[in-house]
Amino acid sequence: MPADSTLIVAGEERLEKNQFQSLAERSKHEDFLRRAVDLLVERVVFGRSSRTSKVVEWAVPEEIKSAIDLTPRDSPLSHDELLKVIADVARYSVNTGHPYFVNQLFSSVDPYGLIGQWLTDALNPSVYTYEVAPVFTLMEEEVLREMRSIVGWPEGAGDGIFCPGGSIANGYAISCARHYFYPDTKSKGVYAVPKLVLFTSELAHYSTKKLATFMGIGSDNCVMVNCDERGKMDIEDLELKINEAIESGATPFLVTATAGTTVFGAFDPLVAISGLCKKYNLWFHVDAAWGGGALMSRKHRHLLAGIELADSVTWNPHKLLAAPQQCSTFLMRHKNVLKDGHSCEAKYLFQKDKFYDTSYDTGDKHIQCGRRADVLKFWFMWKAKGSEGFEMHIDKLFDNAKYFFDHIRQREGFELVIDKPECTNVLFWYVPPCLRGRENEPDYKERLHKVAPKLKERMIKEGSMMVTYQPQGNLVNFFRIVFQSSALDHKDMVYFANEFERLGKDIVV
Ligand code: ABU
């Protein structure tokens, strides 16, 4: 392969001069691309998503280092060697498209989403100006408008952006809320504001605390509100803590509620929280990164009742709606806060004297400059399935989760963490025979705590499924299984339970 392996090797003029060389280059690259795409389709997309393949080919770092030459080298590899590299990278990567990868809040591979992702990469846009990304600029605005309408805000209201992940979207909520109440912070920084305090629940995603730290508000000023036994924010504790903050001389400005908490899948009481936000004049943000997809279902959208009262919302289509990573949105009911709060008006990029309507140069409302077009894969999926397809997908996920919950509720060896899950998270302990009937013994919890890591090790080494576990508060390690692949069915639910039994029944702790 030549040193210059750029795909488009020549324009028309050079083509005349170097016609034969250029055509040969093109045919070599075309051949490589076709072989690579075939490999991806056969071996990565379909080969790895069958139930009989492994979810993960576990290898210690030394094994991976010896299987794949990770060091960049001076001399180029041949196309055959590169194809082998592709196969090796795939082999040792976790097979997140596998039906039994239920470890995180994303999974599965959607064919339309995948093609949308590949089209994005083939076009390689950066969405900051209309002139560089005309279709994506319009597509983003249209998809975000439709999402705002699904949230329930009035037509024509609001704004929104695609973000690199839900954490950043939650950070935008902090930034917009602060700018809304204290626009001077844009130029004067944190010195222009009183000591600000924000509130979120103890079971909310850690990003709110992390981004409060990043933005100079300080992690101590991100106050954690207690949750009830189902994992929902305790509204009385929220009001108590707002008043404590005011009495201490601080200024509350934001509440981040959660619609679908990361571990429990709980939906905070949005209407009641909105009431307190109105009473104390606080920005009301809803982190619906996980649960937002339920808005697409007439059967399940009641879980988010009150979301239309929010000032802003985080909603990640790469989670419940199974768009490819990454696809995160920050939506808001206010029109100009994003731009007013973040614009920098760089003249080299956002020239005001362009020949077209520069209000379409939407990039300056982001904190990023260069930005992937994460909209395309989601838009393409939406075109392929319609809103009806998304609704069927969501309904199936909830049906599977309920089936799994009901199945393990009556099965020996499984103990549920919460009685009535709200989202598609099901939380449970697997209790091996050595611990059954010993619930009242003083060291029961300590011993139960050791089961999940042992069982997880077995499942990863066998590669038969991937389910995460964690402790939470005073709860010892428990499993969280999450469903967001509608390729799963009730038989798969029984498979998971059987697999826990098979892998765990002889664990001794
Ligand atoms: N955005 C965080 C999701 C992490 C998880 O999969 O649990």
Contact between 420 and 426 under an 8 Å Cβ cutoff? The reply is no
Name the closest-CA residue to atom 3, ligand 1. Answer: 105
Pull the structure tokens for residue 365: 């409302």
User: What number of CA atoms fall less than 13 Å from residue 129's CA on the CB side?
Assistant: 15
pTM beyond 0.85, yes or no: yes
Q: Is the CB of 21 under 6 A from ligand 1?
A: no
CA of 184 to the centre of ligand 1 (A): 34
Pull the structure tokens for residue 456: 């997880």
Quote the CA–CA distance of 165 and 314 in Å, as a whole number: 9
**Nearest to residue 120, comparing CAs of 317, 372, 322, 318?**
372
Atom of ligand 1 nearest to the CA of 262: 7
From residue 436, how far is each of 11, 410, 433, 448, 475 by CA, in Å?
74, 15, 5, 10, 18
Name the closest-CA residue to atom 7, ligand 1. Answer: 104
The tens place of each residue's pLDDT in the chain, 509 residues long, gives 444 555 554 444 555 556 767 888 889 999 999 999 999 999 889 888 889 999 999 999 999 999 999 999 999 999 999 999 999 999 999 999 999 999 999 998 999 999 999 999 999 999 999 999 999 999 999 999 999 999 999 998 899 999 999 999 999 999 999 999 999 999 999 998 999 999 999 999 999 999 999 999 999 999 999 999 999 999 999 999 999 999 999 999 999 999 999 999 999 999 999 999 999 999 999 999 999 999 999 999 999 999 999 999 999 999 999 999 999 999 999 999 999 999 999 999 999 999 999 999 999 999 999 999 999 999 999 999 999 999 999 999 999 999 999 999 999 999 999 999 999 999 999 999 999 999 999 999 999 999 999 999 999 999 999 999 999 999 999 999 999 999 999 999 999 999 999 999 999 99
Quote the CA–CA distance of 485 and 279 in Å, as a whole number: 41
Pocket test for ligand 1, best of 106, 167, 262 (most atoms within 8 A of CB): 262
Atom of ligand 1 nearest to the CA of 468: 7
Atom of ligand 1 nearest to the CA of 165: 1
- Give the CA radius of gyration of the chain: 25
Q: Is the CB of 105 under 6 A from ligand 1?
A: yes
Which architecture characterizes domain 126-372 according to CATH?
Answer: 3-Layer(aba) Sandwich (3.40)
Which architecture characterizes domain 50-56+94-124+375-509 according to CATH?
Answer: Alpha-Beta Complex (3.90)
Give the start-to-end residue ranges of the domains of the chain: 50-56+94-124+375-509, 126-372
Question: 469 pairs with which residues across the strands?
Answer: 479
State the pLDDT at residue 11: 46
Quote the CA–CA distance of 185 and 196 in Å, as a whole number: 12
Quote the CA–CA distance of 436 and 449 in Å, as a whole number: 14
State the pLDDT at residue 157: 84
**Nearest to residue 262, comparing CAs of 204, 223, 330, 202?**
204
Q: Is the CB of 104 under 6 A from ligand 1?
A: yes
Q: Is the CB of 482 under 6 A from ligand 1?
A: no
State the pLDDT at residue 22: 83
Q: Is the CB of 113 under 6 A from ligand 1?
A: no
Name the closest-CA residue to atom 6, ligand 1. Answer: 104
State the pLDDT at residue 2: 43
Q: Is the CB of 435 under 6 A from ligand 1?
A: no
CB atoms within 10 A of CB 145: 18
